[in-house]
Structure 1
Amino acid sequence: MIAMPRRRGQEAAYQQVAQGLRAQIDAGQLLPGMPLPTEPQLEQQFGVSRITVRRAVQILRDEGRVETRHGSGSYVTPPRSRRRLSMQRYADPRPPEAGATIDREFDEVDAEGDVAAALQVQDGTLLLRRRMVQRLNHSPQKISTSYLLADMVAGTPLADPAYEPWEAWTIAQLADLGVKVTAVEESVLGRRPTAEEMQTLTLQGSDPVQSITRRMLAGDRPVEAAVDIVVPADRFFLDYRIDLP
């Protein structure tokens, strides 16, 4: 049995439950990655209603102390390591990090809308769509959806998901086909995640994402478009260097 915190003035019961759980997290009684007790357990421990328990857990979610996983329950949020994405990653392809894995799904689609415009092709042009979820030590890091011209990559390893993850990334892969990427364009937008992105990246409702739109060019010809690359905003720095004439 966990004792309810002492009431301070007119502090609501759900705030007292939230404070009690905070105290357990701060004291190390609930460690990062551990599940919270179930709602019935919390009702019994604190002597409150189900609604009160849910409001208390929502407070901790809003604070980033707790994350709720669909179909699994609520867990103490592990520390968020922050990583850097710099333009150097295009100039210096390197092997995947130790512990990195990729969930991938490839299919052929017709170009339309923003994707057709980015690749400068007519609507209906056949494209290879590559959707990937990159994980590091089982933790989801990034969702990317990119498009290549189907007639350029048909019958090559780029069109075969069994080859992912490669020892190098898209620029080196294209170079193997004799396509030299000479420029990369990116634009970055901060936004709220979709419901699917929240579930895939294990985000809280208040967690923003950075959405990166990318285009690779060989001379004046677009050869790849990523619409889009999604990363949790609090886990990544985007580093850029601009060389002035």
Structure 2
Amino acid sequence: MNDVKTIILEQVNNFGIIRRISKYEEKATYQSHYLGLIWQFLNPAIQIGIYYLVFGLGVNQGKKTDGVPFIIWMLIGITAWFFINSSILGGSNSIYKQVGMVSKMKFPVSILPMVNISSNFVSYRAMMLVLLASMFGFGIYPTIYWLQYFYYFFCMIAFLFAFGILNSTITVLVRDYHIMLQSILRLLFYLSGPIWNFRTMFQGTEHRWIIKVLELNPIYYIIDGFRDSFLSKQWFWEKGTQTVFFWLIVGFLMIIGSHVHMKFRARFVDFI
């Protein structure tokens, strides 16, 4: 637990550095492009359009899902997924890419996964504005359930940070891990609920166990939680088993990730 405490304190004590580096990375990534930071919004917008044509109009034939237009239902899930996906992939590669710079400067490498998460907020905020505008356009307005959005947002950041500490360390030790993670995330896209409504797909009692298994996926828990909030379905404490299991996973990832990180970080440069 001392390793976990050390890692968390490093984030708190270096909060200003995290913000400054993340802002620099946002500008540096697209500075050579004509449209600049607009690409952080334009790129996912194009993908959303493709997914809606294929799954909304094609597979789902324009039908409503959970009582709302499919585009709204999908936007809630896909907005969270894009942020989660980019943060996991970017976080896993964050130390490997920057360890040379960090070795010459005085700040802990443990903040680099959080730097990556922070730099992804620009596109996430833009997509959230589009989501809110779309919901208002379809007559979906705030209710008391929307307050739990902040809980699920905290869940998302906690999971991404805990997973990022572990992933970024393993990527330095085993370079092939980052490539394997990309393949796993492609599979998780279809198993985490951004575009599929599994409750509708497996309505029969015979296949009910499939939903129970999928609900153990922490990414599914987050995405489904955002839908519970914005579509005013249920409170997070009504999903007691899922909630407990989710925080057990986050705690496990944080403990293992912090321990491995502290054990090897003094030798990161040697491994690279």
TM-score (norm 2): 0.23
Q: Please, what TM-score do these two structures have when normalized by structure 1?
A: 0.25
| Higher normalized strand content (fraction of residues) | 1
Q: Which has the larger radius of gyration?
A: 1
Larger RCO, structures 1/2 (Cα 8 Å, 6+ apart): 2
